[in-house]
């Protein structure tokens, strides 16, 4: 296996929002590049990017932003997916980002799609994305353990949020490794990648677990926008070897049928670590239409 391309952030900072909160961020790639927002996966932070070796040639400025309550971003109790889109609209204006596109990885998928629904971004790539698990079309496809959590979130979201708050960086690491295909474990446990991934987890939980818990409730609830109404291009990327029970149970097939602008890619020999094993293809496709 070729070691995944992992590099430390080239630039970091915080951006103040109109209500006084701040968003923490990291960047890779040329400042003059086309801006791409990374919505990271569950309980990871601005410390874990992707595709650093191809950003200059692709002309991409990759920006990873911590969601409220994770890493360096100020908490926002009770926030919604559309609150994230509002935050990113302010962030984009403050940073003078033009033609912004987004990549949503794993649990970052609904956050990227919220930005698409609010027209904050001009295109989206969803990579190994979590589906709208609470949608009726997903019910029969869910792993029994996931179905229980989705049901709890629907009937008692406060209890679900309290349950998710029991997560930790170590538990998250063990859960990801435990549910991953061997092809993904080879990526995640490669020493340099594992070090970067675990640092991103530690940073995400540096303020406690409330940020992750809120993220997970939002991801497992019905989403407050209609996928059928999206107008910006959406690329759905899945690896056929992906065995995660919290990603799309049908590798984006139902998701693609609900998004009029969707283009679905299923890579036969890849797993859930597609973001790092196929970064160049994902970025190229993101700007292809």
Average pLDDT on 1-20 reads 88
pTM of the model: 0.97
- pLDDT, tens only, 211-262: 999 999 999 999 999 999 999 999 999 999 999 999 999 999 999 999 999 9
Complete domains list, the chain, with CATH: 11-286 (3.40.50.1820)
- pLDDT, tens only, 125-151: 999 999 999 999 999 999 999 999 999
Q: For residue 169, what are the contacts with CB-CB under 8 A and spacing of at least 6?
A: 43, 198, 201, 202, 204, 205
Cα–Cα distance list, 33 to 60, 90, 125, 282 (Å): 4, 20, 17, 16
Query: Using 50, 70 and 90 to split pLDDT, how confident is the model at 1?
Result: low
Average pLDDT on 254-283 reads 97
**CB-based contacts of 194-199 (< 8 A; 24+ apart in sequence):** 196/6, 196/8, 196/47, 196/48, 197/44, 197/48, 197/173, 198/169, 198/173, 199/47, 199/48
- pLDDT, tens only, 167-187: 999 999 999 999 999 999 999
Query: Using 50, 70 and 90 to split pLDDT, how confident is the model at 196?
Result: very high
What residue ranges in 44-118 does DSSP mark as E strands?
A: 60-65, 101-105
For the cut 60, the answer to whether the pLDDT of residue 3 exceeds it is no
The fraction of the chain above a pLDDT of 70, given in percent, is 99
The predicted structure's pLDDT at residue 2:
60
Rounded to whole angstroms, how far apart are CA atoms 142 and 107?
16
């Amino acid at each position: 296996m070729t070691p995944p391309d992992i590099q430390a952030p080239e630039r970091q900072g915080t951006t103040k929002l109109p209500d006084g909160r701040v968003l923490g961020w990291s960047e890779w790639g040329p400042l003059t590049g086309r801006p791409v927002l990374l919505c990271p996966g569950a309980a990871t932070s601005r410390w874990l990017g992707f595709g650093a070796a191809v950003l200059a040639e692709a002309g991409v400025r990759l920006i990873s932003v911590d969601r409220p309550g994770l890493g360096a971003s100020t908490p926002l109790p009770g926030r919604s997916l559309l609150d994230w889109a509002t935050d990113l609209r302010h962030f984009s204006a403050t940073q003078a980002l033009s033609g912004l596109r987004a990549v949503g990885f794993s649990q970052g998928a609904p956050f990227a799609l919220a930005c698409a629904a609010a027209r904050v971004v001009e295109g989206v790539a969803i990579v190994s994305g979590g589906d709208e698990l609470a949608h009726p079309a997903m019910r029969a496809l869910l792993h029994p353990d996931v179905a229980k959590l989705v049901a709890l979130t629907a009937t008692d979201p406060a209890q679900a949020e309290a349950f998710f708050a029991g997560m930790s960086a170590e538990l998250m690491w063990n859960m990801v490794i435990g549910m991953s295909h061997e092809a993904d474990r080879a990526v995640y446990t490669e020493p340099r990648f594992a070090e970067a991934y675990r640092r991103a987890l530690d940073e995400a939980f540096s303020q406690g677990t409330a940020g992750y818990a809120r993220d997970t409730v939002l991801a497992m609830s019905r989403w407050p926008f209609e996928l059928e109404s999206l107008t910006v291009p959406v690329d759905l990327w899945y690896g056929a070897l992906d065995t995660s029970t919290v990603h799309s149970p049908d590798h984006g097939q139902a998701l693609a049928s609900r998004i009029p602008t969707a283009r679905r890619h299923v890579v036969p020999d890849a797993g859930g670590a597609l973001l790092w094993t196929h970064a160049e293809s994902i970025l190229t496709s993101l700007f292809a239409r």
